[in-house]
């Protein structure tokens, strides 16, 4: 397990799969801020709300010059169903099962629920500046009001 990436660190340039079968990586966004939000699972209540909140503010992020990218370990086909079902505007990408971006950032962590231990995504958002450095980090995100707080930080960059 790698150390957690923090403010001032360069985001690892690890390729992610897009729902259309293509790929995307953090360096594709160099020259403009990037909101990289990691969430545990498509179509679960908190993750659906978080994605809808970012979608509702997508135009505002665009006006601020910031790109959005939501990431989970779900496969691309599942992402596409999730996007279609909820009319999501924020692009989604799939992180590889092993040695992915979440691993490199230190947010693919051991979780515990009902006495069962498993590996899972720690809901985390990174605001990455135009040079690819982490400008701000939100860890163990509480969904309510989160997208708005990230927007305000992006506008202030």
- Residues identified as active-site: 47
CB 129 within 8 A of CB 108: no
Question: Cα(65)–Cα(125) distance, rounded to whole angstroms?
Answer: 17
What span, in angstroms and rounded, lies between the C-alpha atoms of 114 and 124? 22
What tokens were used for 57?
């503010």
- Nearest C-alpha neighbor of 150 from the set 72, 71, 33, 45: 33
Question: Phi and psi (nearest 5°) for 8?
Answer: 95, -20
Cβ(97)–Cβ(4) below 8 Å: no
């Amino acid at each position: 397990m790698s150390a957690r990436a923090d403010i001032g660190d360069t985001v690892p340039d690890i390729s992610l799969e897009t729902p259309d079968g293509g790929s995307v990586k953090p360096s594709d966004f160099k020259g403009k801020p990037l909101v990289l939000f990691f969430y545990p699972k498509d179509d679960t209540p908190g993750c659906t709300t978080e994605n809808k909140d970012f979608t509702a503010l997508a135009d505002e992020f665009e006006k601020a010059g910031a790109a959005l990218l939501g990431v989970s370990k779900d496969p691309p086909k599942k992402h596409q169903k999730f996007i279609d079902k909820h009319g999501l505007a924020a692009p989604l990408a799939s992180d590889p099962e092993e040695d992915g971006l979440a691993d490199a950032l230190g947010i693919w962590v051991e979780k515990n629920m009902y006495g069962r231990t498993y590996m899972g995504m720690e809901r985390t958002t990174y605001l990455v500046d135009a040079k690819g450095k982490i400008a701000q980090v939100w860890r163990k995100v509480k969904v309510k009001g989160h997208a708005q707080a990230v927007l305000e930080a992006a506008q202030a960059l």
